[in-house]
Amino acid sequence: MAKNRKPIPKTQKEISKTQHSAYDSTQGNPNDAILDPKSRILQQSWKGDTVKPYTVGIQDIDEAIFYYLENVIKPTVTQNGEKISVPVLYGSPEKWKILQKSC
C-alpha cells in the first residue's frame, strides 16, 4: 500500500533554472558555470596576497558614529545667549553606570 506523501515544493534555484535559456545553445546555460569544476570562479587563491580581506567590526561602527556626531551634527547648547559646543565622549556601559550612580 502506497503512503500518501506531501508534495515537496521546488526550491528557488530549481524554479529559476527552468526560466533561463542560453543565448548560444552551443555554450550552454551560463548559470551552470558555477557547477563546472574548470570554472575560474572556483580557482581563487589568497597565497602571496598582502592585502587584508575587508571586514567591518563593532569598533569601525563605533568610530563612524563618533565621527558623525563630532563632525557632522556638532552638538551645541545655547546658554545666556552664548553658543557652547557639547563634547562628545565615548562611554562603555561600565562608565555609564558609574556616572549614573555618582549623579
16 contacts 29 by C-beta, under 8 angstroms: no
Rounded CA gap, 40 and 23, in Å?
21
Provide CB contacts within 8 A for 53, sequence distance 6+. 46
Per-residue pLDDT tens over the stretch 41-52: 667 777 888 887
Contact assessment for residue 20 and residue 9, using Cβ atoms and an 8 Å cutoff: no
pLDDT band at 30 (very low <50, low <70, confident <90, very high): low
Q: How many domains does the chain have?
A: 1
Is 77 inside any structural domain?
yes
Is 63 part of a structural domain of the chain? yes
Domain that holds residue 97: 58-102
Give a yes or no: residue 10 inside a domain.
no
Buried b (16+ CB within 10 A) or exposed e, 46-77: eeeeeeeeeeeeeeeeeeeeeeeeeeeeeeee
Report CA-CA distances (Å) from 43 to 27, 38, 46, 52, 80.
20, 8, 10, 19, 68
Query: Could you tell me if residue 62 is inside a domain?
Result: yes
Q: Which residues contact 81 (CB under 8 A, 6 or more apart)?
A: none
Residue 83 falls inside a structural domain: yes
Average of per-residue pLDDT values in the chain: 81
Tell me: pLDDT of 32 over 70: no
